[in-house]
């Protein structure tokens, strides 16, 4: 389905203070792909996502969602198709109950209350938090908040799911839950993160950013083992792919051979 593609063509973006955050970025993401966007702090990942969502607009170049340009006019249509989960769930949750928060999106699209209820319950079910329905979002734990903010986006049934650092500040168990959740989605996914192990698990394609430029774009298995490239961009080979100092095999196999030496 070509109308699910997302394309950047020579996009530039400069912040009002003269900071050139995005510099000639081009890529095309097709239906069903899950793409990890990685890069060190300040590489321009969040800026890139904001450009996609039309929160800010490119100074040069064009951004296409399907065959539609991202402009002020097309925003309502585009935002219905892209769902973005913010880096900080507190920015995303502002209603007084979890239910109302998840229903906020669907209600804005003027559905009747029955349809809204269906969508909300579906989203809560998928994320596995129907029991939190009547709780107040600001009294939840970090992991629960993250789940709720994912549900607020799912309830709008977007074609493309966009997430800024979905696993940051989560404990291992909540992190695992979010990863499994992400893996179970059929959506086109775009995920930014420093958690390269997560990226390796969830994404099949990786785009590396450095100082607002695309440094590499390719299959996750290739890029995430390229130590030189990652080093140059201020990153590190993910732990699960690191080769063992002793025998050169990756951790997965190390576990079986000589874990006691680690």
Partner 1 sequence: MPDIMNSLYNIRLLDSLARKETPVHRMHPLVKVLVTLIFLIFVVSFDRYEVIRLMPFFLYPVIIFMLSDIPAIPFLKRIMLAMPFVIGIGILNPLFDKHILLINGVAISRGWVSFFSILIKSVLTIAAGILLIATTGMDKLAAALRMLKIPKILVLQLLLTYRYISILMEEVARTIRAYLLRAPMQKGIHRSAWGSLAGQLLIRTYDRGQRVYHAMCLRGFSGEYNTGDNARLNIKDYVYLLCWALFFVVAKIYNIPLIIESILAGVIR
Ligand X SMILES: Nc1ncnc2c1ncn2[C@@H]1O[C@H](COP(=O)(O)OP(=O)(O)OP(=O)(O)O)[C@@H](O)[C@H]1O
Q: Which is nearer to ligand X, 142 or 234 (CB)?
A: 234
Rule CB under 6 A: is residue 46 a binding residue for ligand X? yes
Rule CB under 8 A: is residue 168 a binding residue for partner 1? no
Say if residues 10 and 26 touch (Cβ distance below 8 Å).
Answer: yes
Please pick, from the candidates 23, 34, 92, 193, the single residue that binds partner 1 as defined by CB under 8 A: 92
Q: For residue 114, count other CB atoms closer than 10 A to its CB.
A: 8
Helix (H, G, I), strand (E, B) or coil at 45: helix
Shortest distance in whole angstroms from residue 78 CB to Mg ion: 21
Burial class (CB in 10 A: 0-12, 13-18, 19+), 151: buried
Q: Which is nearer to ligand X, 41 or 184 (CB)?
A: 41
Q: Which does 21 bind (CB under 5 to 8 A by kind): Mg ion, ligand X, partner 1, none?
A: ligand X
Q: Which is nearer to partner 1, 111 or 216 (CB)?
A: 111
Complete DSSP assignment for 2-16:
GGG-EEEEEEEEE-T
Rule CB under 6 A: is residue 39 a binding residue for ligand X? yes
CA distance 180 to 199: 12
Q: Which does 174 bind (CB under 5 to 8 A by kind): Mg ion, ligand X, partner 1, none?
A: none
For ligand X, which stretch binds (CB under 6 A), given 45-53, 70-78, 141-149, 224-232? 45-53
Please pick, from the candidates 51, 104, 124, 206, the single residue that binds partner 1 as defined by CB under 8 A: 104
CA distance 11 to 234: 23
Q: What is the CA 136 to chain-centroid distance, rounded?
A: 25
For ligand X, which stretch binds (CB under 6 A), given 15-23, 110-118, 150-158, 177-185? 15-23
Alpha helices in the chain (DSSP H): 45-53, 75-81, 89-92, 98-108, 113-127, 142-154, 172-184, 196-202, 220-223, 227-232, 251-258
Rule CB under 5 A: is residue 46 a binding residue for Mg ion? yes
- Of 179, 233, 187, give the one whose Cα is nearest residue 206: 233
Say if residues 223 and 232 touch (Cβ distance below 8 Å).
Answer: no
Q: Which is nearer to Mg ion, 155 or 193 (CB)?
A: 193
Rule CB under 6 A: is residue 23 a binding residue for ligand X? no
Shortest distance in whole angstroms from residue 124 CB to partner 1: 15
Which residues make up the interface to partner 1 (CB under 8 A)? 53, 55, 76, 79-80, 83-84, 86, 88, 90-92, 94-97, 100, 103-105, 107-110, 113, 116, 134, 136, 138, 152-153, 156
């Amino acid at each position: 389905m070509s109308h699910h593609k997302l394309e950047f063509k020579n996009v530039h973006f400069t912040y009002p203070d003269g900071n050139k955050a995005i510099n000639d970025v081009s890529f095309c993401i097709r239906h069903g792909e899950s793409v990890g966007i990685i890069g060190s702090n300040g590489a321009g990942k969040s800026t890139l996502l904001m450009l996609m969502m039309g929160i800010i607009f490119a100074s040069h170049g064009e951004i296409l969602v399907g065959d539609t340009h991202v402009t002020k006019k097309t925003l309502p249509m585009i935002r219905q198709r892209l769902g973005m989960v913010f880096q900080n769930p507190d920015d995303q949750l502002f209603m007084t109950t979890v239910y109302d928060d998840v229903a906020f999106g669907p209600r804005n699209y003027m559905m009747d209350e029955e349809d809204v209820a269906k969508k909300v319950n579906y989203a809560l079910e998928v994320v596995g938090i129907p029991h939190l329905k009547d709780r107040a979002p600001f009294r939840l734990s970090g992991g629960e908040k993250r789940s709720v903010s994912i549900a607020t986006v799912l309830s709008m049934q977007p074609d493309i799911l966009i997430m800024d650092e979905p696993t940051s500040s989560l404990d291992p168990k909540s992190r695992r839950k979010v990863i499994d959740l992400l893996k179970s989605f059929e959506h086109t996914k775009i995920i930014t993160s420093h958690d390269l192990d997560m990226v390796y698990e969830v994404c099949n394609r990786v785009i590396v950013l450095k100082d607002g430029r695309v440094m590499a774009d390719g299959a996750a298995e290739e890029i995430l083992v390229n130590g030189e490239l990652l080093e140059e961009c201020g990153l590190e080979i993910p732990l699960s792919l690191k080769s063992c100092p002793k025998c050169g095999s990756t951790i997965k196999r190390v576990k079986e051979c000589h874990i006691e030496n680690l």
